[in-house]
Each structure stands twice: as structure tokens, then as C-alpha cells.
A and B are shown apart, each in its own frame.
Chain A
Amino acid sequence: MARALASPGLLPVGTFVAIIAIWEISCHLFSIPSYVLPAPSRILGGFDSIGTLRWLDHVWGTLRVALIGYFASIFVAIPIAIALARSPVLSRAVYPILVVVQSTPVVAVAPIIIVALGSGDLPRVVITCLITFFPLVVSTTTGLMATPPELIELSRSLRAPVWREISQIRLPYAIPYIFSALKISVTLAVIGAVVAEFVAAEKGLGYFIQFSTSMFKVQQAWAGLVILVLMSLVLFQIVVAVQKIWFPWSLPKDKI
């Protein structure tokens, strides 16, 4: 019994089920009003409030912005990281700016960006980029610098072109660092997309949650939240799987 409980897959599931059960029982036992905390069974009802197609529409709205922002961010962050790793001068010049950008609360800048860029997809993608960008740049730069100096000497002793030193040695060596940033950033991308939807949107899960709460349809808002959490989890697991399938050597040995 103790062994079964301790097995790695079962333990978190058990905890999860227990929390749901306590939640359900408490809601009924203490007659908690559903606008404060709806019981899990009521939240399930929230899923029926709109049709599947409408749900998919909202999910796609958020997912699309999150993914475009995420990939745009990767596309921009990696070349910047390479430039920072190559040039200490550039690194000293640009790094403080990156820190300032990172220190600015995205939630606070979001309305300003929406005003500046209009209400299309562009401002939402920019907001998502802003929030995902920093961990990617910092982690990738660290990874590029973590290459064993012997390999750089080997590269120099072969008089190989610099771009090959980057593509064949430094970037592959940065893979474990890049993936830890990719995992953080993919969940941040969902947050970025939701924040943007809070400010201005006509669809998407963030919009749906805000719209539902303003109408006091709390179960419905909770249902949106559950889907949002699931989306984040799935995206995270996709990144984990990509690393496992294509870069198994980059995982810590005890995890293979």
C-alpha cells in the first residue's frame, strides 16, 4: 500500500483527487456561495454554458497569440543571445536595457502597447514577446558561454570560421540552457496572451474569463480557467517531449 502510494505517478494524482474531494465537500458542507467558490461539480456545468465550437474559438484565439509570440520571441532572442555572447562590449551596453525591459510589469505596459499598436493581433504578440523574451536571452547567453574552453581552442586550432564555432559547438552546448528557458517561456507566453486579452480582445480565454466574471457567471469563468491551465500544461509537456525525443543527450542523466 505504502509502495503503491509512493510510486511517482500515483502520488500527485492522489493528492489532486483528494483536493478536489475536499473542495467539493467543503462547498456543500459550508454552503459556500458559488460566486465565492463554485464546487467542482458546478464548474463542470460551466463547460456546458457555451458550445464546443465557441470553446475551440476561444482556445484558438489564446493559443494562436501565445504561439506566434513564443516563436517570434525565440526567433529574436537567440540571435541577440549570440551577439551578446560574442561581444562583451555589446553585452555591457545592451544588458542593462534588457533588465529595464524585464523589470517593467507587462500588465502595466499592456494598455499602453494596445493604444500604440491598435487592437489587432500585433500588440498581443508584442506583449507575449516581451514577457517570454528575457529568460530566453539570458539562458541562451549563459549556455553559449558555458562551452568548454578546450573545444573553442580546438575550433581555433582548426582555423574554422566563427559561424561554425557557433553552429557546431556553442549552440548545441547551449541546448540544455535553451530548453530550460523554453519551458519557462512557454507558460509565460500563455500569461502574455491572457494579459493582452484582458486589455483588449473580442475572443480568447482571457477575454472569456473577464467577460464571464463581469456577468457574474463565475462557474463559467472557472471553466475557462481550467482550460487555460490545461493549455499551459500541455504546451509545457510538448516542450519536454521535444527535448526528450530530439535532444535526449541534453537531459540530466538520472532523468533518462
Chain B
Amino acid sequence: MTTAPAAIRFSGVGQVFSTASGTVEALRHVDMSIDRHEFVAVLGPSGCGKSTLLRLTSGLLKPTSGKVEVFGLPISEPRDDIGIVFQRPTLLPWATIEDNVVFPVRHKTGRVSAQDRETARKLLEKVNLKGFEGRLPDELSGGMQQRVGIARALFMDPDILLMDEPFSALDALTREEMGFELLRIWEDRPKTVMFITHSISEAVLLADRVLVMGERPGSIVENLTIDLPRPRNMETSNNKMMHDYVGHLRSLLLKRAA
């Protein structure tokens, strides 16, 4: 374990944004690492710099100070082996579901092969959207649209999946279902997942480890390993340990907010 480089490693990362009204320190001295195929949830109040963490990992943003490494290499530009799922599905409204899933390759290379379409159809089957390939995003529910968003992020078969509060726009029931579905996909095809959320129970239910971020400037204030058995499902929600973890995290966040 110690010989292989971490999938994601932050060393003393600070991020300062300059805005019209002055500078904002979003992150201060963030140290953390995520192992290959580990599912890590980043939990924190809104505005604590969770999304900045994600953008730094994706290479869309360069750290003001410190070092961000992916598989042992400092990140200088976006990599092909990282897929992103956004808070909103943000599908192309004019393109069919299948076209939305193959969009990354069309956008990157300008060409879509029959093989790519086959891959897209398989992915859609995996996210339970078989039969919807020819529909337009408008014709799908919010949860279904976000599944397309996940399929799109998985299309390039990335090693790392970055998810920015992907289920926060969904209703509670759909949200839970989507979480389990994500776990099924992840167990079937292991990936390193960085899952940003502000839901404590979602973080505990899904992740191997929860990183808690404190507010302004954001930094990691807790690193909690979640020792719940896998595969996780509806039963897990009733697990006594689950309640303990949730309780611990809740009191931690409340104490910090006070």
C-alpha cells in the first residue's frame, strides 16, 4: 500500500481567489490523500471550499501554494483519466441521451465511432436507462438526468471520479436510491471516488472515509474511517455503527458552527 503513490494527494495546498472586492482565502494548508479505488466523501458546510478541492484535483484550477498530485505526478492540466459529475446534470438539451453520453469523445476528437456508441449503450444499461437512448434530456426526470451525467463521466473509463454534490438537487428518496446505484457501479468497476456532499448520512452511507472540512479558510478538520461492511444497502442505514458515525460527525459540525 505504501509503495504505490496515492491516487490523489494534497500537500500544504492553499487557494486564494482575487475578486473585485479583494482577495478571498478559500483553502489553507490542506493535507490529505486518497488511495486508489478508495471512496472518500468530503463533508462540510456550504462555502467551505469543497468544490475548490474538486477543481484543484481536476486540474481546472492551479493551487496558489502547495502541491496537488494525481498518481504521484503534480497536476498541471486536466487529465483524461478523471471524470466529473456536477451538481446539476447539465446535459445538452438538443442531444439525445446516447449523444450526451458520447459527448466527451465527440468534443475531444470530433469523431464518434460505432464502438463508442456501443460503450455508451452499455453504460446506459448499467445506470438503468436502457430504452432511453433516443430520448431528449427534457423527457427524463431529474434523477434519470443525473444518471446520464454519471454515464457521461464514466464514458472515458476514468480511474478517478470527482462528484460535486451530485445528488443534492434530487428528492430524498431518489437521492438514496442513486447512492446505492452509484455504489453498485463502483463495486462492479472500482474507481477512486471523491464525493463532495453536505449530507452527513450520505457521506457515511457511501464512503470508506469521510473528510470533514472547516469553514473559511477551508481545511481538513477530521479524517474519519467508516468501518461499515460492504456491500452497503438499505440495511446499512439501520446499522447501529452508522448512527454512531452520523452522530459523531453531526456534533463535530455543530460544535464548529457554534
CB of B94 within 8 A of CB of A154, answer: no
CB of A155 within 8 A of CB of B107, answer: yes
CB of B94 within 8 A of CB of A247, answer: yes
A41 sits at the interface (CB 8 A): no
B108 sits at the interface (CB 8 A): yes
**Shortest beta-carbon distance, A20 to chain B, in Å?**
41
CB of A153 within 8 A of CB of B94, answer: no
Q: A155-B107, A160-B107 are in contact. Are A169 and B78 (CB under 8 A)?
A: no
The one of B78, B87, B88, B110 that contacts A159, using a Cβ cutoff of 8 Å: B78
Q: Mark A37-74, 1 if CB is under 8 A from B, else 0.
A: 00000000000000000000000000000000000000
Chain B residue with the shortest CB-CB distance to A158: B108
CB of A153 within 8 A of CB of B107, answer: no
B93 sits at the interface (CB 8 A): yes
CB of B106 within 8 A of CB of A156, answer: no
CB of A148 within 8 A of CB of B107, answer: no
CB of B94 within 8 A of CB of A157, answer: no
CB neighbours (8 Å) of B104 from chain A are 154, 158
Question: Interface size (A, Cβ < 8 Å)?
Answer: 21
CB neighbours (8 Å) of B86 from chain A are 150, 153-154
Chain B residue with the shortest CB-CB distance to A250: B94
Q: For the complex, give the distance between the alpha carbons of A177 and B106 in Å.
A: 25
A151 sits at the interface (CB 8 A): yes
CB of A160 within 8 A of CB of B92, answer: no
Interface residues on B, range: 20 to 34
A249 sits at the interface (CB 8 A): yes
The one of A150, A158, A164 that contacts B88, using a Cβ cutoff of 8 Å: A150
Secondary structure class of chain B's binding surface, majority of residues: loop
Q: For the complex, give the distance between the alpha carbons of A253 and B137 in Å.
A: 12
A34 sits at the interface (CB 8 A): no
The one of B58, B59, B78, B94 that contacts A172, using a Cβ cutoff of 8 Å: B94
B136 sits at the interface (CB 8 A): yes
CB of A157 within 8 A of CB of B138, answer: no
The one of A160, A169, A247 that contacts B108, using a Cβ cutoff of 8 Å: A160
A168 sits at the interface (CB 8 A): yes
CB of B138 within 8 A of CB of A249, answer: yes
Q: A150-B86, A150-B88, A249-B136 are in contact. Are A158 and B94 (CB under 8 A)?
A: no
The one of B77, B84, B110, B138 that contacts A154, using a Cβ cutoff of 8 Å: B84
Q: Mark B58-85, 1 if CB is under 8 A from A, else 0.
A: 1110000000000000000110101010
CB of A157 within 8 A of CB of B58, answer: yes
Interface residues of B in 73-126 (CB under 8 A from A): 77-78, 80, 82, 84, 86-88, 90, 92-94, 103-104, 106-108, 110
Q: For the complex, give the distance between the alpha carbons of A169 and B78 in Å.
A: 19
Q: Mark B194-230, 1 if CB is under 8 A from A, else 0.
A: 0000000000000000000000000000000000000
The one of A153, A159, A247, A249 that contacts B84, using a Cβ cutoff of 8 Å: A153
CB neighbours (8 Å) of A249 from chain B are 93-94, 136, 138
Q: 26 A-B residue contacts at CB 8 Å?
A: A148-B88, A148-B90, A150-B90, A151-B92, A153-B60, A153-B86, A155-B107, A156-B78, A157-B60, A157-B84, A158-B80, A158-B104, A158-B107, A158-B108, A159-B78, A159-B108, A164-B107, A164-B110, A165-B107, A168-B103, A168-B107, A169-B92, A172-B94, A249-B138, A250-B94, A253-B138
